[in-house]
Structure 1
Amino acid sequence: MKKIFIILAFCFFAMSYSQKKKDLYLFTSFREPATEGLYLAYSEDGYKWKGLEGSFLKPEIGASKIMRDPSITKGADGTYHMVWTTDWKGGNGFGYASSKDLMHWSEQQYIPVMKNEPEVVNVWAPEIFYDDVKKEYIIIWASTIPFRFEKGVEEEKNNHRMYYVTTKDFKTFSDTKLYYDPGFSVIDCVIVKKGKKDYVLVLKDNTRPMRNIKVAFGKSPLGPFKKSSEPLTEYLSEGPTVVKVGKNWLLYYDNYGSKNYKALSTSDFVHFEDVSSKISLPEGHKHGTITTISEEVLKGLIEKKN
């Protein structure tokens, strides 16, 4: 009798496990000229993406009323927090909003992180990262402050460095500090936690003629980071984002020189395999970030557009 009970219990567990709802992947995006707002695509395997019709959040803040480079992360409480570029040029901050279901959003906020830098040219591509060690959010972005750094081959108004703030509640923020100065113009940075005290910074070298993707390694999400790698991608690549699928990481990037998306697969961020032939994305997809969503959230998003 005991043996039969064990077998039945095992069968029940196996059936329950097989029916357990799995998380799906969500890719944020925008469409040029970036006035329509947030676009979304989803995937079951991290390779093949299906677009959801229309915009899910219209930009209401910033002088230009645009939404570029939407970066999203899910906090410990399941709330999605998103930041984005509000102005191509001018402005001293970025946009922020949060949501539990990606349909109903908080009031949009403009976060003036460079208000103490009157000469700042721009605030580009803010990227949000949840630090599960310190239980806080790190937001990094690229800005140019003319004559602040050695410019190399870049013009003074295109010589970017990375800056950051931290916050626990999106009401109070730390003072703005320099995040990353590799000695060249750098934008589009993404923080990846590979393991305990093992972090990767994926970045775009924005200097001519480079303008491609590299990586650097550090023991903390705030660095310091070691010297960046040799280029991983071809000329005119930007907007990287990273997602773990199975045992490997997929590094997506916008190869705007060829007007298409590409992807690399890696287990260590040292050795990479081009898997671009295995991916598909909606037409017009522009770079954002990848997170996970539940089947319930996806169902709500689909029903909203039907």
Structure 2
Amino acid sequence: MTSGRVCRRSVLTLAAGLPLAALSVGRAAGGATSVRYTMSAFTNSSETDLYVYESTDATAFQLLRGSAYRPPSGVMRDPSIFRNVDGDYYLAYTASGDGQIIGFARSSDRVTWTHLFDFTVPMLGVEACWAPEWFVDVDGRISIIVSLTNGRRFTPYLMTATDASMRSWSVLTPMAGLAPPNPFDTAAIGYIDTTVVAHGGKYFAFTKNETTKYIELAVALNAAGPYVFVATGNWAGWGTPREGQSLIQLPGGGWRIYFDAYTEDKYFYSDSHDGFRTWTAPRELPGLSGTIRHVTVFPENLPESET
């Protein structure tokens, strides 16, 4: 950020970007399935309205509803969605440019949304609360990764829902290893827009280095860390500045990352087929590059009856 009833338990797994028989597109228990990709975004023209798009191939996205949701107050930036086991879709978003508020909304169809509540981060000294990102762990725990700053540097924090309504949350835990190691280094601004996927028994955090503006990669054995950076700088050939990244697994086992080249007014995607080691040259997202900002792409395996 610049400054279901779920028919299958597998949807929770997909929300976390976890492999599930490589998405197993084709015949499955209960009949044929297909993959639907839902994109949530705000746009260059509006930071108060949610735009929802969908795709069957993770590349060509069509508008499902423009201005699908506008909060009762504040902004609606950095929207992140997932589908819960109750069958409904949940939205979390940055609700104020400077402040301690995360906004929440709910929808049964991704088209009509209802504001649920605003959550004030219970931490003294927080001056900005950016880019809340849903994360569903392998055991089904629902969490949010959010970037907090005290005005000097950003640090990603993990907070976990402690009740089904998601109105009660655990104490915020800093994601160890994803902060400048020296708190007196005024040149190190920290990390924002962190998204995490679990793969091969490890947790991979793709996070924007707010000093260099590169998207970097860190790995841990637990969602909260400690993380160790394994790829920094222009390691993937994506360039800088880049932000607003969203990562999904593709049918067949590959991975795709989407990211915002905000100073170029473009949105790109890039694929990896070797466990995040190498990536294809970035390609512009057709039809939407230059329009959308800070997207989340949510894939779900749907039975034929829901398509």
Instruction: Flag whether TM exceeds 0.5 (same fold).
Output: yes
Question: Within the alignment, does 1:28 sit opposite 2:28 as a pair?
Answer: no
Give the AA of the match of 2:196: I
Question: Within the alignment, does 1:112 sit opposite 2:120 as a pair?
Answer: yes
Write the distance in 2 (CA, Å) between the matches of 1:22 and 1:44. 8
Match of 2:143 in 1: 138
Residues 1:77 and 1:223: Cα distance change in structure 2 (over 3 Å): farther
Match of 1:151 in 2: none
Contact 2:216 2:229 in 1 (8 A): no
Residues 1:272 and 1:60: Cα distance change in structure 2 (over 3 Å): same
Write the distance in 1 (CA, Å) between the matches of 2:197 and 2:266. 23
Contact 1:73 1:82 in 2 (8 A): yes
Residues 1:122 and 1:68: Cα distance change in structure 2 (over 3 Å): same
Give the AA of the match of 2:90: H
**Please, which runs of 5 or more residues in structure 2 have no aligned partner?**
1-25, 181-187
Q: Which has the larger radius of gyration?
A: 1
Which stretch of the first structure deviates more once superposed, 96-105 or 237-246?
96-105
Match of 2:231, SS? coil
**Deviation per residue, 1:256-301 (Å, 9 max, x gap):** 1221111121131121112515x414251111211135599998xx
TM-score with structure 2 setting the length: 0.77
% identical equivalent positions: 24
Shift of 1:244: 1.2
Contact 1:75 1:130 in 2 (8 A): no
Write the distance in 1 (CA, Å) between the matches of 2:282 and 2:116. 37
Question: Within the alignment, does 1:274 sit opposite 2:276 as a pair?
Answer: no
Q: Moved runs in structure 1, 4+ residues, more than 6 A?
A: 14-17, 295-299
**Deviation per residue, 1:159-217 (Å, 9 max, x gap):** 2111121004202210122124331411000011223x22210100001xx11111111
Match of 2:215 in 1: 213
TM-score with structure 1 setting the length: 0.78
Residues 1:186 and 1:48: Cα distance change in structure 2 (over 3 Å): same
Shift of 1:71: 0.7
Write the distance in 1 (CA, Å) between the matches of 2:128 and 2:116. 20
Contact 1:34 1:68 in 2 (8 A): no
Write the distance in 2 (CA, Å) between the matches of 1:45 and 1:199. 26
**Deviation per residue, 1:214-254 (Å, 9 max, x gap):** 11111222222112512332121110001111221001100
Question: Within the alignment, does 1:70 sit opposite 2:66 as a pair?
Answer: no
Contact 2:206 2:216 in 1 (8 A): yes
Q: Which has the higher contact order (CA 8 A, sep 6+)?
A: 2
Question: Within the alignment, does 1:100 sit opposite 2:111 as a pair?
Answer: no
Write the distance in 2 (CA, Å) between the matches of 1:81 and 1:57. 12
Shift of 1:35: 4.3
Write the distance in 2 (CA, Å) between the matches of 1:15 and 1:109. 40
Give the AA of the match of 2:243: E
**Superposition map of 1:17-96 within 5 A:** 20-32=32-44, 34-61=46-73, 65-89=74-98, 91-96=99-104
Give the AA of the match of 1:125: A
**Deviation per residue, 1:44-73 (Å, 9 max, x gap):** 111122223421111114xxx210000112
Shift of 1:76: 3.3
Write the distance in 2 (CA, Å) between the matches of 1:163 and 1:199. 15
Greater helix proportion? 1
Write the distance in 2 (CA, Å) between the matches of 1:93 and 1:163. 14
Write the distance in 2 (CA, Å) between the matches of 1:270 and 1:69. 27
Give the AA of the match of 1:173: W
Match of 2:69, SS? coil
Question: Within the alignment, does 1:287 sit opposite 2:294 as a pair?
Answer: yes
Matched residues, number = 263
**Please, which runs of 5 or more residues in structure 1 have no aligned partner?**
1-13, 147-155, 300-306
